[in-house]
Structure 1
């Protein structure tokens, strides 16, 4: 792993700044990350304030593992999680590791043992993060889960590891999205 920028303090502004430093050079990826973070900021109303902040800052950081300086395994969820763990941000590392049912892809890549070192907390924060990511396209456009899965298949091919992982995860993705949608519906003002 190459030298990467540190993240000693973890706040929404520092998470945004780190994501910009790491991903800002890729306009498409940066567009996706900004849209996921904006969606998370809106979804945060469904959570207590501390959890709301955690959701938003994790949304900013969910794809940092795509940054070349952080690439270690070649799997962005784990590469981002490893970097966050090295920075001392364990809970955020675990959320990043497991966003959008990444354990399915880790298994296909032979990385289940590494993934197992990052417990999946299975909380509303995790479900909302998955919701924000899966319903946001690669350039930041809004998508349904079905549209997102079709887009992944188009970009990676029917036999691509990302496609196969998301197909295997479809039932769990649907469960997490339904849980997130219930939370968001329950948090609407009457």
Structure 2
């Protein structure tokens, strides 16, 4: 991944989200800002994280939402329309423990077959940290506050609510693992 890739990812995300979903675009920009804080920790993988941070929610775009499950819709769009490499599509498809939500939606097998989990736990954790410590408006927050707001917004018995309750301990553990690598804890 190069600086050019990051500029391309920003352009794609902005064109898909900024006009139709400005709050989602604000969140995306905040997630990308968080990714920049991990550059020194991730080294060569930092550009891949930056691209994933920019593209992780592209599947919410109205023209792309075919299954209603944004990680799958976004990864398919990136693969099928833009020919994006396997690592990036798999990271987008599986961001923030999406496999657990896919299970709630009856899409786990589809997600696992099309976009298997990456084995790079550090990179997966980094994207969880970026996403789950950013508010819908793009501001930094704690993972605990983010999970609580998601539960409040969607309701505990919704698909998203059931997923987030199942995933919260894993989210908190991923965030803790990333924060343990940081010289200071930017929040």
* TM-score (ref. length: structure 1): 0.88
Match among 61, 67, 75 for residue 67 of structure 1: 61
Give the aligned partner of residue 88 of structure 2.
92
Aligned length: 176
Secondary structure at 1:81's aligned position in 2? helix
Match among 5, 14, 19 for residue 8 of structure 2: 14
CA distance in 1, matches of 2:69, 2:56: 12
Secondary structure at 2:38's aligned position in 1? helix
After superposition, residues 1-150 of structure 1 pair within 5 angstroms as: 11-25=5-19, 26-49=21-44, 51-86=45-80, 87-88=82-83, 89-117=85-113, 118-123=115-120, 124-150=122-148
Secondary structure at 1:140's aligned position in 2? coil
Secondary structure at 1:142's aligned position in 2? coil
Match among 152, 155, 158 for residue 154 of structure 1: 152
Q: After superposition, what is the alpha-carbon deviation per residue over 1:130-169, rounded to whole angstroms, capped at 9, x for unaligned?
A: 1000000111122111111111111111211111101101
CA distance in 2, matches of 1:170, 1:122: 20
CA distance in 1, matches of 2:67, 2:183: 38
Give the aligned partner of residue 6 of structure 1.
none
Give the aligned partner of residue 5 of structure 1.
none
RMSD: 1.4
Secondary structure at 1:11's aligned position in 2? helix
Give the aligned partner of residue 164 of structure 1.
162
Equivalent residues of 1:84, 1:90 under 8 A apart: no
Q: After superposition, what is the alpha-carbon deviation per residue over 1:20-70, rounded to whole angstroms, capped at 9, x for unaligned?
A: 000011221111000000110121221122x11101111000000001111
Runs of 4+ in 1 over 6 A off after TM superposition: none
Name structure 1 gaps, 5 residues minimum: 1-9
Match among 177, 180, 185 for residue 178 of structure 2: 180
Tell me by how many angstroms 1:182 deviates: 2.0
* TM-score (ref. length: structure 2): 0.89
Give the aligned partner of residue 7 of structure 1.
none
Equivalent residues of 1:103, 1:115 under 8 A apart: yes
CA distance in 1, matches of 2:32, 2:23: 14
Tell me by how many angstroms 1:185 deviates: 3.4
Deviates more, 1:174-183 or 1:153-162: 174-183
